[in-house]
């Protein structure tokens, strides 16, 4: 009887343990990454090489993901567009806090990780965006084909949505410090009432005929403001200070990547200097 009881008890404990053991087993998610370019970046991020399997446990703890496709040719730093067309499989990056998928060939984004804090999807071909995580703090979506933005979480402090086709903005979050929405179609303006933390606005080139189209402003905003890089971990744009006047439609367009300009000038001078030295040697 005791032996039978022991067998039954062992069987019960085994049945109870099976679900736990099954849930702890790593799951092969390699096939979920349908875009070859994105899959290659995932392999790089987890320190594996194809055709090794990619497990859910490999990507679950990754907190930062960005794709550096910049190249140095001589003295020139260039940023060619990457080849990623979709981010299928991103949902398995459950611990992701920072995502930079700028300058790719994306036309849409999948569901974003719930804990994401920084998102840069600039310079793509996006026409719409998914729901933004409640934890998001910095949001860059410059140079796309967006006609609207999704609901903005209250945690957002910086929004850069320049060079799109936006005709209106959703309700702006109370924590907002910086809003860059130049080069859109916001001719009817927008409201910033109650945004006590707001210290920077760039709404040039929106067809506004009067700065008063931006309602709810507190203090004097008709004087040019000089600002610099906000100090985020990785910023592919806005390296140099910007001189901005609210509502001014006649300023020189903002240079999105000034380092390329200076690198080209340096390259020209280098070539000319080399040519001059060669002529002296003849």
Into how many domains does the chain fold? 1
- The CATH number for 115's domain is 3.80.10.10
With cut-offs at 50, 70 and 90, classify the pLDDT of residue 282. low
Assigned domain for 15 exists: no
How far is C-alpha 133 from the chain's CA centre? 13
**pTM for the structure as a whole:** 0.72
CA distance 163 to 114: 27
Mean pLDDT taken over the chain: 77
Centre a 10 Å sphere on the Cβ of residue 93 and count the other Cβ atoms it contains.
24
Q: What is the pLDDT of residues 9-62, one digit of tens each?
A: 444 444 444 444 445 699 999 999 999 999 999 999 999 999 999 999 999 999
Where in the sequence is the domain holding 224, given as residue range(s)? 27-281
Assigned domain for 11 exists: no
DSSP 8-state code for residue 245: -
List the structure tokens of 256. 């999105």
Q: What is the pLDDT of residues 121-173, one digit of tens each?
A: 999 999 999 999 999 999 999 999 999 999 999 999 999 999 999 999 999 99
| Helix, strand, coil shares, percent, the chain, to 5 | 25, 15, 60
User: Smallest Cα–Cα separation from 126: which of 98, 112, 105?
Assistant: 105
Measure Cα distances from 36 to 73, 85, 96, 266 in Å.
26, 9, 21, 36
Assigned domain for 17 exists: no
With cut-offs at 50, 70 and 90, classify the pLDDT of residue 216. confident
Q: Helices marked H in the chain — which ranges?
A: 2-24, 36-46, 56-59, 258-281
């Amino acid at each position: 009887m005791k032996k039978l009881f022991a067998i039954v008890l062992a069987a019960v404990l085994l049945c109870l343990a099976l679900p736990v053991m099954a849930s702890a087993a790593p799951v092969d998610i390699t096939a979920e990454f349908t875009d070859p370019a994105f899959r290659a970046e995932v392999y790089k991020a987890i320190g594996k090489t194809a055709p090794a399997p990619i497990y859910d446990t490999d990507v679950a703890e990754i907190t930062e993901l960005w794709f550096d496709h910049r190249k140095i040719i001589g003295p020139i730093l260039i940023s060619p567009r990457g080849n990623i067309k979709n981010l299928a499989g991103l949902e398995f990056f459950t611990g992701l806090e920072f995502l930079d998928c700028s300058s790719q060939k994306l036309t849409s984004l999948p569901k974003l990780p719930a804990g994401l804090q920084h998102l840069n999807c600039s310079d793509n071909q996006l026409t719409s965006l998914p729901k933004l995580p409640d934890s998001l703090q910095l949001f860059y979506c410059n140079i796309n084909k967006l006609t609207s933005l999704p609901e903005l979480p209250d945690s957002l402090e910086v929004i850069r949505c320049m060079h799109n086709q936006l005709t209106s903005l959703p309700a702006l979050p109370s924590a907002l410090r910086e809003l860059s929405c130049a080069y859109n179609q916001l001719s009817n303006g927008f409201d910033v009432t109650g945004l006590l933390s707001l210290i920077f606005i760039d709404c040039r080139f929106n067809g506004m005929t009067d700065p008063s189209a931006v309602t709810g402003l507190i203090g004097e905003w008709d004087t040019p403001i000089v600002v610099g890089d906000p100090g985020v971990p990785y910023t592919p744009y806005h390296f140099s200070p910007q001189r901005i006047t609210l509502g001014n439609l006649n300023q020189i367009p903002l240079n999105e990547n000034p380092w390329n300009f200076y690198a080209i000038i340096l390259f020209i001078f280098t070539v000319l200097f080399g040519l001059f030295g060669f002529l002296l040697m003849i």
